[in-house]
């Protein structure tokens, strides 16, 4: 079978490689776009999850800077009708009936749409949302066990702010000036690059209810309550929990084989409590030796297979740092184990160990009992440090980025401000590291081992990105879901700790945007290869929004063992259930199945850009005038229609060919050349 290799960075080595190289030629046109909410959607809120997600992803601050009704219009009429004191009974009754009808209609219009299982906790009238772009907007605030919902029907179309409580990082009381009776305020700092400010009257009961309910419902874990995902009862046509089956995924990769076996040694999570139950390890390794290797590796995270090349059998294995310590402790079982990994690949007599950390940090870890593989102890291994910074540096970088993009942007210093955050530089380093890993596998036909300190942050970023470059399956919608489930969720990225689901400790040093960086890297790849990915930009933004929302169970907990204990797969809904029930929303109309092509994105700042449609989507001035997502859906429909016409023509041509052959009888037959058309 002819395979193909895609290269925009390293040269493809070796004359026998038949996988085609695809070079990224600079910043390509975007393959997909974000969606802006329509007036109809915002004007007619429903309980539909689909419509809500479209509102959220496009930006829940609706109808920016559109025409508005005078702020007192509706409420003044409502009060006048309710308290009419005309002496005539006939004149009096009609306005009262009309007032009740108008009042009920107004109340219905201001109500928050509820998901199945969602319940209202507090409703407060005349709450003012201080929008940084439109000024103060007065409306009704509803706090449920899932969201904070503000709606003002005094504007046309109605103004809506719909915020999942899971995105809230902290809630603080503030003083508010120049807003009349609304002298009390709340500032809500969010995880998705925005802050919200509310003002309301100083009435003690009102103030207490709003603030307390927000705090309790935004941080349920800190208040002894379950996350909303365990209450969410929406039914979908597809069961997303069945997307990833480890046995099926390893079978797709051609495993087990003579060199690698599927091991159940961790079936009860005794070998490593943060690893999945199903592991792939070298066939010749005994369980006793594996246990000794686990004792030598941080957190027991032994080297296990993530991906195997279908031709060369070169592998990507992942693990944590060895416990070498300041005295250069050795473990003969670990040394033999890595030699066995190298021997499983007959194409190479070398093993490359990619340590994601900075060399200086690895030395510091060594002094504390950790460390790295010395080439004296591992003679056939080459150690490469990728110099990627730790979780604390990444958290600080995102904080700086938020400062320059929200609420306002300094146009005169935009480029220097972005550069000062170092965000794109860190994205570049991740992509560059993944390209080096992919190139060693594809071009060098050499097996690699990837680790950082504990093997659940930078390691997951690098292995997942390298696998995305190497394997076209992971560039499909289902394949990407499998990649996230496998390399991130099952292998123990600490989502609960890094995101802080339901936890009020916003200053927790363990929080970091590791998964966000990975998705940003994927987006950068879709920019350079706009036809190579089946999914669009909305797909990536949806994943990030529900990383925080706590609506689905997909990103809850820290490892597989915890999810099993909490019965996440039976008590919550999978994000993939929602996505796979409406694939047309998330499909890239320009997608071409580059099967067996390897993609090497250009890891240069000249070819990277800030993801405006995610990081700056709350600013109405930064949104496209035409909703790109809608255009892409229309293109997808046209593509489907044209593809159907091509198939009809192919069938017609085949029928005519058969008919012509039968008419010629015994004359020499001429086979019709099949029509291969790609739309």
> Active-site residue numbers?
452
Beta bridge partners of 190: 168
Q: DSSP code of 486?
A: I
CA-CA-CA-CA torsion sign (464, 467, 469, 474): negative
The DSSP line for 85-147 is --S-HHHHHHHHHHHHHHHHHHHHHHSPP--TT--EEEEEEEEEEEETTTEEEEEEEEEESSE
3-state secondary structure 420-452: HHCHHHHHHHHHHHHHHHHHHHHCCCCEEEEEC
Structure tokens at 642: 């044209």
Q: How many CA atoms, within 13 angstroms, populate the side-chain half-sphere of residue 101?
A: 6
Q: Are 356 and 450 in contact (CB under 8 A)?
A: yes
Structure tokens at 464: 């997942």
d(CA 548, CA 498): 11
Peptide bond into 157 cis (omega under 30): yes
Q: Residue 290: which H helix or E strand, with range?
A: helix 287-296
Residue 273: name the closest of 452, 487, 492 by CA: 492
CB-based contacts of 186, cutoff 8 Å, min separation 6: 171, 172, 173, 174, 197, 198, 200, 210, 211, 214
Angle between helices 423-442 and 391-405 (to 10 degrees): 130
Beta bridge partners of 136: 130
d(CA 390, CA 408): 29
Q: Is 504 left (phi over 0), alpha (psi -120 to 50) or beta?
A: alpha
């Amino acid at each position: 079978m002819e395979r193909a290799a895609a290269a925009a960075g390293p040269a493809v080595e070796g004359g026998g490689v038949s996988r085609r190289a695809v070079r990224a030629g600079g910043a390509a046109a975007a393959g997909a776009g974000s969606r802006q909410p329509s007036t109809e959607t915002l004007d007619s809120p429903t309980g539909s999850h689909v419509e809500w997600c479209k509102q959220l992803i496009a930006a829940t601050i609706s109808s920016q800077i559109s025409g508005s009704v005078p702020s007192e219009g509706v409420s003044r009429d409502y009060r006048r009708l309710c308290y009419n004191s005309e002496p005539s009974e006939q004149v009096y009754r009609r306005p009262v009936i009309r007032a009740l009808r108008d009042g009920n209609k107004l109340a219905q219009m201001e109500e928050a749409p509820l998901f199945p299982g969602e319940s209202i906790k507090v409703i407060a009238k005349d709450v003012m949302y201080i929008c940084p772009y439109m000024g103060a907007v007065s409306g009704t605030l509803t706090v449920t066990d899932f969201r904070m919902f503000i709606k003002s029907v005094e504007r046309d179309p109605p103004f809506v702010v719909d915020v999942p409580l899971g995105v809230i990082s902290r809630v603080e009381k503030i003083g508010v000036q120049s807003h009349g009776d609304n002298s009390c305020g709340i500032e809500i700092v969010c995880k998705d690059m925005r802050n919200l400010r509310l003002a309301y009257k100083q009435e003690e009961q009102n103030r207490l209810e709003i603030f307390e309910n927000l705090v309790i419902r935004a941080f349920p874990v800190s208040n002894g309550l379950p996350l909303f995902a365990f209450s969410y009862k929406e039914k979908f046509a597809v069961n997303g929990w069945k997307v990833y089956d480890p046995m099926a995924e390893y079978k797709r990769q051609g495993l087990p084989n003579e060199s690698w076996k599927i091991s159940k040694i961790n079936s009860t999570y005794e070998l490593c409590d943060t690893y999945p139950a199903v592991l792939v390890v070298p066939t010749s390794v005994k369980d006793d030796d594996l246990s000794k290797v686990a004792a030598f590796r941080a957190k027991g995270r032994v080297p296990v297979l993530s991906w195997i090349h279908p031709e060369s059998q070169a592998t990507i294995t992942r693990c944590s740092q060895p416990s070498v310590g300041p005295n250069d402790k050795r473990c003969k079982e670990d040394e033999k184990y890595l030699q066995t990994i190298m021997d499983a690949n007959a194409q190479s007599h070398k093993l490359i160990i990619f340590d994601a950390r900075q060399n200086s940090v690895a030395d510091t870890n060594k002094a504390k009992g950790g460390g790295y593989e010395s080439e004296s102890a591992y003679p056939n291994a080459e150690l490469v440090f990728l110099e990627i910074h730790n979780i604390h540096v990444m958290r600080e970088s995102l904080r700086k980025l938020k400062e320059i993009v929200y609420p306002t942007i300094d146009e005169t210093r935009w480029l220097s401000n972005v550069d000062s955050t170092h965000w794109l530089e860190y994205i570049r380093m991740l992509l560059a590291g993944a390209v080096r890993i992919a190139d060693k596998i594809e071009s060098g036909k050499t097996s690699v081992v990837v680790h950082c300190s504990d093997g659940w942050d930078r390691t997951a970023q690098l292995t997942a990105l390298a696998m995305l470059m190497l394997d076209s399956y992971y560039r499909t919608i289902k394949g990407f879901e499998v990649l996230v489930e496998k390399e991130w969720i099952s292998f123990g990225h600490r989502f609960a700790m890094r995101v802080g689901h339901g936890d009020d400790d916003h200053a927790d040093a363990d929080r970091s945007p590791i998964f966000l960086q990975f998705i940003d890297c994927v987006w950068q790849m879709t920019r350079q290869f706009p036809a190579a990915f089946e999914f669009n930009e909305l797909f990536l933004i949806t994943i990030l929004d529900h990383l925080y929302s706590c609506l689905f169970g997909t990103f809850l907990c820290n490892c597989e063992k915890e999810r099993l204990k909490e019965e996440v797969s039976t008590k919550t809904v999978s994000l993939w259930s929602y996505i796979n029930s409406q694939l047309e929303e998330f499909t890239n109309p320009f997608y071409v199945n580059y099967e067996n092509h390897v993609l090497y994105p250009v890891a240069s700042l000249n070819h990277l850009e800030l993801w405006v449609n995610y990081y700056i989507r709350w600013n109405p001035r930064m949104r496209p005038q035409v909703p790109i997502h809608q255009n892409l859906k229309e293109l997808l429909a046209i593509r489907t229609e044209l593809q159907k016409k091509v198939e009809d023509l192919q069938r017609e041509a085949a029928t005519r060919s058969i008919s012509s052959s039968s008419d010629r009888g015994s004359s020499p037959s001429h086979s019709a050349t099949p029509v291969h058309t790609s739309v």
